[in-house]
Amino acid sequence: MSEAVISYYNNFTPVGDILVIACCLVFAILFRTAYINRSKSFLIFRNTLILLAIAAVSDICYHSFSVSELSPAATPPVPAIYISRLIFHLSVFGIFAGYIHYTKELLHLNKKADRLYLSLAAAGLVIIFLYDTLGTVLHLGSYVDEIGKIHFGFNIFPIFYILYLSLIFYMIFRYRTRIYKQIIVGVLLTCIVSLVLMAIQGILGQYSLTVASFLFPAFAILYLIHSNPYDTEIGAVNITAFEDLINYSYCHRDILLIMSLYMHDFDEKGTKFPQDMQNTIRYYNHHFFKGALLFQISGGHIILVADIAKNPDYERRLKEMTADFALQHTKFRYDYKAVFLKTLDEISVNNDYIGLIHYLEENMNEQEFKLVNEKDIENYRRQRYIISQLEDINTKMDLDDPRVEVFCQPVLNIAAGRYDTAEALMRLRLEKTGMVFPDQFIPIAEKYNYIHCLSLIILNKTCLQIKKMLEEGYIIKRISVNFSMIDVREPDFCQSVNKIVQESGIPFEKIAIELTESQSEKDFMIVKEKINELKDSGIKFYLDDFGTGYSNFDRIIELPFDIIKFDRSLVLASSSDAKSETMVSYLAHMFSDMNYSVLYEGIENEQDEDMCINMCARYLQGYKYSKPIPIAALTDFFEKKA
């Protein structure tokens, strides 16, 4: 036997490969006990680690079978040597191919680049397979001769090691802007450590740490990308882990039970559950459901998820848990809202359970348990559709959008004895839902900042209808349009209003803007500035909903309103109590003496009408005269010039 062969086997010890196998077992344990984001990239990573374990085992086998050549009396098991060597090479470079596949998955490459890098990785494996098989047959590579001696041919291992590693480095550098910089630095530095280890091993003539060098990138990937540590106090993982679990269960057709608990007392930043509450949460996490996972969505919002397949008696368990929680609540006394539901495909496909839960919580009372039913899903589906339509309306910004309709409620001008003013009201008419009323979509539009677009559409359509009616000879004093503080805060509010009114061709005094007073000092200054800017053009201003909530007389007097709209609640109070009637009447006379016109809302009968006329009313509005009607129907109320 040659000295080179003896040196080759003397410079190998299985310790490195045994360490790799042990580390792979640790990875397997962590995958079972820690929460891992089980994305497609993680599955690739897991399979790569399986190849790592196979490489370590086959490396030990290859050297064990080959070392028998050192004993003159032993006959080396030739097929076992060939097979173990082939498996070792394919698994080692399969690890490289796995890392390439993993990297291109993280980079979200287009199909062309995706196929290119996969093809290069696969081509390398094919070449290695052909070299090992054909090299053995043709005696060009490693082979065992007729008398049992092993011969080493040209060693392609270093070449392909460098080629694969270079390809990975190139991919990361080429698409570096697609990955967070710290992740790139962490992975590259661990790869460099692996490369240095291989270089030191080569200098020392060692072969024991080849497979071990692949461990370092694996640790970096697991820690930087797939780790999702438990909260050490209550055992929860975060919202990203929850969304990942939903995606995973949807792909594998698993049905989950989702149990949401929201306690607003702990939703402020930095607030934590007290120790006794933490103990209770940990108890619920493990006591009632097998294999349940706890997720912390926000400071006061936690979700417990259980696999129904593992808990076929989940209804009994849920009943026991809620009964126990109600008992615990007598001790803690924190406000809560609890929602329970099973996963549904139509929610899972968009991973929208958090949105569904928040929607339900908005309509729940404190200390309420909510078991989600089909009606809840139907209502949420309707809301999501309305949101999508509002988003589309806002994106297109078409001032003639047919989905936004103007309704009007005629207003009686007492002095003139006719209807010559009206209030424009907003409606949506959508394909799937039909008519949608303001209480259903305005809060949504304000929440998602779509309201300004809707307000401008209503203003534009109102102006165009006024133009049409004026051309037909109708007497129109003005029509008012409601704007919110969200509208007024827009930097181009005044420019947008002026532009729409001017382009419609109507006199500016035919339009009025209704605003509700704000408590905010900053909003007050903005309103004052915008009113003064627009009043110069002739637009009138209404103070809407006077008598509800906040009313500051100093601010009302400082703002140049033209009309004060007394809310329906003042009408009701006046009709039921003489003292209230006196007070409301006094306020109305005071405003009238200060040259404000008073408009009473919510007039429903003659008694309301007579009372409000006696209380210095200038305008009356309510169901006694008309419900809101399409703006085109105002021609049934307004008069034409003689």
Helix (H) or strand (E) holding 29: helix 15-33
The pLDDT assigned to 6 comes to 46
* Burial class, 4, CB count within 10 angstroms (exposed 0-12 / middle 13-18 / buried 19+): exposed
Query: Torsions phi, psi of 481, nearest 5?
Result: -125, 135
Q: What is the pTM of this model?
A: 0.70
How far, CA to CA in Å, does 471 sit from each of 480, 481, 506? 19, 21, 10
User: Facing residues of 260 across strands?
Assistant: 303, 339
Strands 619-621 and 256-262: unpaired
How many percent of the chain have pLDDT more than 90?
Answer: 52
Dist. CA 50–CA 28, nearest whole Å:
10
pLDDT, tens digit, 9 for 90 and up, residues 6-63: 444 457 788 888 999 999 999 888 888 777 777 788 888 899 999 999 999 998 888 8
Contact 485, 448 (CB under 8 A): no
Element (H, E) at 404: strand 404-413
CA 559 to chain centre: 41
Helix (H, G, I), strand (E, B) or coil at 431: coil
Tokens coding 31: 């995958």
Q: Per-domain residue ranges for the chain?
A: 3-226, 236-372, 384-636
Give pLDDT, residue 460. Answer: 97
Amino acid at 228: N
How would you label 193-221 residue by residue, b for 16+ Cβ within 10 Å and e otherwise? ebbebbeebeeeeebbbbbbbbbbbbebb
pLDDT (0 to 100) of residue 155:
74
Q: Which residues of 149-172 are buried (b: 16+ CB within 10 A; e: fewer)?
A: ebeeeeebeeebbeebbebbeebb
Which residue ranges in the chain fall short of pLDDT 70?
A: 1-10, 67-77, 141, 143-154, 232, 269-270, 519, 549-552
What is the reported pLDDT for 1?
43
| C-beta separation of 524 from 518 below 8 A | yes
CA-to-CA distance for 478 and 110, rounded, in angstroms?
58
The DSSP secondary structure of 601-619, one letter per residue, reads: ----SHHHHHHHHHTT-SE
Q: State the residue for tokens 């209502």.
A: 379
- Alpha-helical segments (H) within 204-261: 215-221, 239-251
One-character DSSP codes across 266-310: G-STT----HHHHHHHHHHHHHSSTT-EEEEEETTEEEEEEEGGG
Instruction: Please count the residues of the chain.
Output: 642
Rounded to 10 deg, the angle between the 78-107 and 157-174 helix axes is 10
Q: What is the number of helices (H) and of strands (E) in the chain? A: 23, 18
Out of 3.80.10.10, 3.30.70.270, 3.90.226.10, 3.40.50.720, the CATH code matching 236-372 is 3.30.70.270
Q: Each residue of 54-83: b (16+ CB within 10 Å) or e? A: bbbbbbbbbbebbeebeeeeeebeeeebbe
Count of Cβ atoms closer than 10 Å to residue 460 Cβ: 23
Q: Under CATH, which number does the domain 384-636 receive?
A: 3.20.20.450
CB 501 within 8 A of CB 531: no
State the residue for tokens 């589906």.
381
pLDDT in tens, 278-296: 888 888 888 899 989 899 9
The values of phi and psi at residue 227, to 5°, are -75, 140
Handedness of CA 465, 471, 472, 477 (dihedral sign): positive
Q: In what order do the strands lie in the sheet with 337-342?
A: 236-237, 293-298, 301-307, 256-262, 337-342, 368-371
- Secondary structure element (H or E) that encloses residue 150, with its range: strand 150-151
Angle between helices 157-174 and 111-137 (to 10 degrees): 180
DSSP 3-state helix, strand, coil percentages of the chain (rounded to 5)?
60, 15, 25
**Dist. CA 397–CA 543, nearest whole Å:** 28
Query: What are the b/e assignments for 509-536, b being 16+ CB within 10 Å?
Result: ebbbbbbbbbeeeeebebbeebbeebbe
